[in-house]
Amino acid sequence: MSRRQLALCAALALQAFASAASPAQSVPLEIVFRTYDGPVASAGTPFVEHDVTLVAGTKEAKEFIDAHRRSNPELVAAYEKLTGDAKLRAHLGSILGLTGQTKQVILADDSRKYVDADKDGKPDTDAAAKEVTHVWPHSAGTHVVISQSYLESYPDEEDLVGVLIHELSHTQDESNLYAGDYGADGSHFADEVLYNNGGKTYSHNAAWIEGWADFTPMLHDPAERADGVRKASKLTLESADAKHSELAWKDASYEQLLAVELTNAFILYDIATLLPGGKEKLFAAFRATNSDERVLLDVLAEYVRANPAEAFAVAAIFDGYTGFRAPDSALDQVLGARQAARYRKDFRDGLRKRNESGELDDVQTVTRHAASRLLEAGAEARLKAVRARLDELDRWKPSFWDVLGGPGWWLVKKLMHDRERARLLEERRQLEHTLASLRAARTEAALAVRVLPPPPARPEEYGVGADTGTGGGDSGAGGRTGTAAAAVSGGSGTPAGVVSGQPLDWGR
């Protein structure tokens, strides 16, 4: 190797080392340490804030942190977690990259901010006693606040990490949370059926907002999901006078389940972790729908629009976590009316039977099956539609009317066809790669454990060609062409519904 090559390798190695050693430079996050003048004479007395921005790795930041290590150990621990945990910073970077805007984490020493106004011997910032909720971590669009009082009451480090991810996730979401969304008590719990408008309607808006922020900590630590399942096996109902009662998950209605933030989180989590590239595709759907009026269904519909081969898998995950009680209108919104009708006719009953207990604990039996079998079925159907359209384009010749329009017209039409053909060739390549990966995973799994069977293949019922073409209905350029039609064998390989030459029953 020449000296020049050695120098280049050394420079690249140094650059890689510098990137790994300086995570603070890759995350659009500013850390602020806040203190207050005090103590105050009584609760509600105005106070003065003092903010210091800490730049990780600088001498000034180190000296400041060292000076507060004894007086504010919890806040110092939070700072060091934010600046020193590479896994956490990478995860926060992917979340904050949704908008790319720099956000602040304010670490607030509020120990002097309040007094014992009610004279019960406890400071009115005692979060564990739920006396005053000013101390709870919260998001305010451009920043999140984590207080000393909260950390003293809840010192668990993993809770802190989850809280940081949760609150920073709120800063990326432009959904509008209007007054009354949290019910009569003004609070929300992960397992609570949320109401708004004085308890008259279910708050799917608030459930989406909080569910999104519950989902992102699950991505960082899957134990958060397991903990959520334990919580949500019994749901909390709140009455108009702020009294609470319990409701078993399997007894809840569709409207109630969709108004639970953990339901939203479970659906997002399974899409992100069970479908290929699910997290990136889900984040893309989040960005595309980021507006003040959206709910979960808007995000799912966008995901399906952008990834039509995964339509039935997404529908099954959504349907499973809402107890297979979703009305036609909801499935129509996610899939489109035609594909929703196929899903209900050919897949829903078989999926429902897979959750034999009807309990939340067993929903992933359904979603894991959907992610493998229905994803494969949808990809095969979409591949068949793509191949059929490519054959049409390959056979295309100028018609009499094209020639009558002059050479300029049919040349433009040929250019449009060439552009469509290039797009479909790339989609065909991706679909073939997806199917190869799914079949390889299925073969590997079959060696270790009996595989859940797929739906039987009945091509004559699906009519893929009806969804394919250049205009009208759900088809055409930019439309939902051949959206995850159903379990149709798509050329070479094992037909959907047959493993090792044996037809399989899907529980119907």
Other CB atoms within a 10 A radius of the CB of residue 41 amount to 8
- For helices 204-220 and 261-274, give the axis angle rounded to 10 degrees: 40
Residue 121 shares a structural domain with residue 220: no
Residue 222 shares a structural domain with residue 258: yes
User: Is the sign of the CA dihedral 362, 368, 371, 377 positive or negative?
Assistant: negative
**What is the β-pairing status of strands 201-202 and 49-54?**
unpaired
Q: How far apart are CA 169 and CA 210, in angstroms?
A: 9
pLDDT at position 400: 75
Residue 452 shares a structural domain with residue 416: yes
Residue 192 shares a structural domain with residue 275: yes
Residue 139 shares a structural domain with residue 191: no
Of residues 240 and 89, more confidence is placed in 89
Chain mean pLDDT for the chain? 75
Which of 369-378, 470-479, 494-503 shows the lowest per-residue confidence on average (mean pLDDT)? Answer: 494-503
In a domain? residue 86? yes
For residue range 266-302, what is the model confidence (pLDDT) as tens digits? 999 999 999 888 999 999 999 999 988 899 999 999 9
Of residues 489 and 49, more confidence is placed in 49
In a domain? residue 72? yes
Numbers of helices and strands, H then E, in the chain: 20, 11
Asked which of 170, 194, 212 is the last residue of a domain, the reply is 170
For residue range 374-425, what is the model confidence (pLDDT) as tens digits? 677 778 888 999 999 999 988 888 777 777 777 777 788 888 889 999 999 9
In a domain? residue 182? yes
Residue 62 shares a structural domain with residue 199: no
Tokens found for residue 303:
């995901």
Looking at the 3D structure of the chain, how many domains does it have?
A: 3
Residue 29 shares a structural domain with residue 150: yes
The answer to whether the CB of 129 falls within 8 A of the CB of 168 is: no
Q: How far apart are CA 218 and CA 333, in angstroms?
A: 27
Of 61, 47, 158, 63, the C-alpha closest to 109 is 47
> Residue 303 carries which side chain, given as an amino acid letter?
Y
Asked which of 128, 145, 170 is the last residue of a domain, the reply is 170
Asked which of 302, 320, 346 is the last residue of a domain, the reply is 302
Residue 6: pLDDT band (50, 70, 90) is: very low
The residues, any chain, with a CB within 8 Å of residue 424's CB and separated by 6 or more, are 386, 389, 390, 393
Determine the structural domain holding residue 108 and report its residue range.
24-170
Residue 166 shares a structural domain with residue 220: no
Residue 180 shares a structural domain with residue 165: no
Q: How far apart are CA 256 and CA 204, in angstroms?
A: 9
The residues, any chain, with a CB within 8 Å of residue 109's CB and separated by 6 or more, are 33, 34, 35, 36, 68, 71, 72, 75, 147, 148
Integer CA distances (angstroms), 6 to 2, 3, 483, in order? 6, 5, 52
In a domain? residue 313? no
pLDDT at position 462: 30
Q: Which residues of 328-361 are buried (b: 16+ CB within 10 A; e: fewer)?
A: eebbbbbbbebbbebbbebbbebbbebbeeeebe
- The pTM score is 0.68
